[in-house]
Every structure is written in C-alpha cells, then in structure tokens.
Amino acid sequence: MSRDDDLPETPGRRRALKGALAAGALLAVPGMAEAQAADPTGRPADPTGTPADAVGARYRNPLVRNRADPHIHRHTDGFYYFTATAPEYDRIILRRSRTLRGLATATETVLWTKHPSGAMGAHIWAPEIHHIDGKWYIYFASAPAEDIWAIRIWVLENSGPDPFKGTWVERGQLRTAWETFSLDATTFTHRGSRYLAWAQHEPGMDNNTAVWLSKMSDPITLTGPQVRLTTPEFGWERVGYRVNEGPSVIKRNGRLFMTYSASATDFNYCMGLLTADARSDLMDPANWAKSPTPVFTSNDTTEQYGPGHNCFTVAEDGRTDVLVYHARQYKEIVGDPLNDPNRHTRVQRLGWKRDGTPDFGIPVADDRPVPDARSATDARSATDGHPATAIPPKERA
C-alpha cells in the first residue's frame, strides 16, 4: 500500500520511449526517503552511513519464508495484512501484525481452500487483499481441477470489519474481454475512478501475457475498454517465456509508477517500470512511458535471484516507502522453477532519486544463513509442513 488511497497501485499500456522515465526534474517530497549509493552488501546507505533498507534495522530478510507473490495491505486499523502464494498452490492464507517485522512470526490463517473438483480447483496463485467501500476483497488466480492451465481471475468478498472473521463469499470470475490465460489482478483508485490492472494473453499475440488496464464500475466488474499497457518486447522480457505480469502501482511526485515482472520465474525474472503523469488520462496507452531496461534484477553479490512480483507498502513511520517482493537465494534450480517452493518474501526500503523517480537499488542480502534446498522434489515448506506440489511445466498461453 501507500499513503495515497489504497495504493501501491497499478496502470496501463506501453509506449516504449527510449529515454524512458519522463523528463523533468521534480524534487523529492520533503522528508521522503532518498536512495543513496549501495554498499557491497546491497544495502543503500543514508547520509549517516546507516543501512537504509531496513529503516533502523527493523527488518530481516527473508521476512516470510516459502511465500511468493507477496501482497501487504496496511489498513486504517493500524495493522499490516499479508497474503501470498503458498507453494502447494492450494489455499489462500492471511497474517496480520502491527509491524512489518511482526509478519514473520504472526499466526497464519487459512481463509479459503481450493475446490476438490471443477472451477477454482488448481493453481491458487497471487492473492491480493483490498478493502473497498467497507468490504474486504481478495483477487486471485485459479484454474479448474480438470484443466489446470485454464487460469482466470476470481474474487472473494467479506463484508465484515475483520477479514479473519465473517464469511468469505465466492463472487465468481472477474470477466475480461477474452476467455484466455489471465492472472495477477490488482486494483487502485486515482482521481475518483477505480482501476484494475492484470496480466492476460491476448489472442493472436506472440507472447504469453501482457499487462492490461480497465476502469471498474464496482469491485468485481470492469467497465469500458481494456487497454494494453505493456507487452514483452525487449530481450530481458522474453527469457524462457514472453511474460509481463504482476503489476503494482505507487503514486508519488506527480506521477504514477507501475512495476511489473518479466520473463521466466527463475533467475531471469526481473522487474520493469511504466510511468504516467498523474494528470494524464490513464486509459490512453500513449501516456505511459516504458523503461527500456529492467529496474530490479538478480544480483550475484547479494545472492538474490529472480526478484519480482512486488507490491509497495509504507513503513511504521507512515512516510518511508517499502518495496515488497519475492526472490530465491540460489540461481540454479532442479526441474521446473514453479515446482521450487523457495521463493521467499522480502522487504527493503524504496529510495527516490532527485528527479522524483523511484530508485530500487539491488535486492539486499539475507541477514542469516538458510538451508541449501535446491531440489524441487525434496523441498518442503518451512512454515507449514505441506509438501511441495508437483506441477507440470508452465504453459501460460
């Protein structure tokens, strides 16, 4: 999340500008975290030399083990709500804590489990929790048990004030223009309108997924056109798979910045960036400038590989922006990366350049040793004891 509305948020189609992150030298908002040079461990230092990624060393990575595609919502009740993909791809979980660090040991509750057959019976991926108009919503991806790659976007709703209580109602599939592979939905508001951004395969396109944007008439219904924000066009977006997915948006300094993830889910996985002026029409793809280079990538020095599928939140001080993402601690993987459960949730401070654009730096090193578990066949979840689910090779289109 962020300090604006219900954001970290999300946006629209690509216009590949080779000089990419918009011109103009906007100064950072007073008091906002500013990125400095990184030390050899990957921790950007503040002017006093204090590691800036942890905001006073409050965080230790990995924050939550064996949880990929993390999403953290900081609610008005003062709690951080955390959900993510479990490596068994069979359930939706939720944790809550008054601090980010507390999420590491917070009790994890299973809110919903996959159906034994039929719709929502396989590949429970990338849940996001949002509080909209007094109700809780979870957007997630799933497929029928009998057709596990027919992945679509689905929605749960809870009208109670506490998402751990009340009833989570299945509101059905969130319908897009085509019945094709779709996932990674996120929602945000801007200038009085609600938007949905997501990844989907477009019929006839030479890619696996592109990122799309549409306005919403309510939390489960798209309205008007859906526009393509970015499709895999650069080499770094087309390694293994031609993928743009996992959008997330943050509004700062008169602009909207949308991150997305690209390529296969191994060490080639990385993050790209789109930028739009906050005064522009977000539904016009020409108003989104695309960076020609990735903004967050694997790093051999800090031994962090495949960073991506991020969201944004804000630190306990209410001002410092925090990048939330997953990554592995090793490069080489035995078998399909989707069978490997060791994508762990990580957090670090998000810096800001003097021109008002985000400075992601590099994924910081872990603070402690971790098991050397590279085999998807033998790996097990350290947090819940569920065995890793055997999944056939990823077929996104």
pLDDT digits (tens, 9 = 90+) for 216-239: 999 999 998 999 999 999 999 999
Catalytic residue among 4, 9, 53, 69: 69
Q: Coil, helix or strand for 6?
A: coil
Separation CA 12–CA 288 (nearest Å): 7
Distance CA 350, CA 38 (A): 12
**Other Cβ atoms within 10 Å of 142 Cβ, number:** 27
The distance of Cα 368 from the centroid of its chain, to the nearest Å, equals 24
Q: Answer yes or no: are the C-beta atoms of 272 and 237 closer than 8 Å.
A: yes
The answer, yes or no, to whether the previous bond of 62 is cis (omega within 30 of 0) is yes
Active-site residue, from 128, 245, 321, 340: 245
Q: Which 8-state DSSP code applies to residue 118?
A: S
In angstroms, the Cα distances linking 163 to 15, 52, 83, 86, 158 are: 39, 32, 12, 19, 7
Identify residue 196 by its one-letter amino acid code.
Answer: L
Burial code (b: 16+ CB inside 10 Å, e: under 16) for 299-314 equals beebbbbbbbbbbbbb
Instruction: Give the pLDDT score at 16.
Output: 33
- Residue indicated by tokens 């975290």: 33
How much is the pLDDT for 224?
Answer: 81
Are 128 and 1 in contact by the 8 Å Cβ rule? The answer is no
pLDDT (0 to 100) of residue 395: 35
Let me know if 5 is a catalytic residue: no
The list of the chain residues with pLDDT below 50 reads 1-57, 369-397
Determine the pLDDT at residue 368.
Answer: 55
Contact 129, 163 (CB under 8 A): yes
- How far is it, in rounded angstroms, from Cα 48 to Cα 284? 43
Residue 245 among the catalytic residues? yes
CA dihedral 172, 178, 184, 187 (to 10 degrees): -70
Helix (H, G, I), strand (E, B) or coil at 322: strand
Q: Sheet containing 80-85: which strands, arranged edge to edge?
A: 68-74, 80-85, 91-97, 109-113
Query: Within 10 Å of residue 350's Cβ, how many Cβ atoms?
Result: 30
pLDDT of residue 80: 98
Dihedral sign, Cα of residue 267, residue 147, residue 233, residue 321: negative
Tens-place pLDDT, residues 144-153: 999 999 999 9
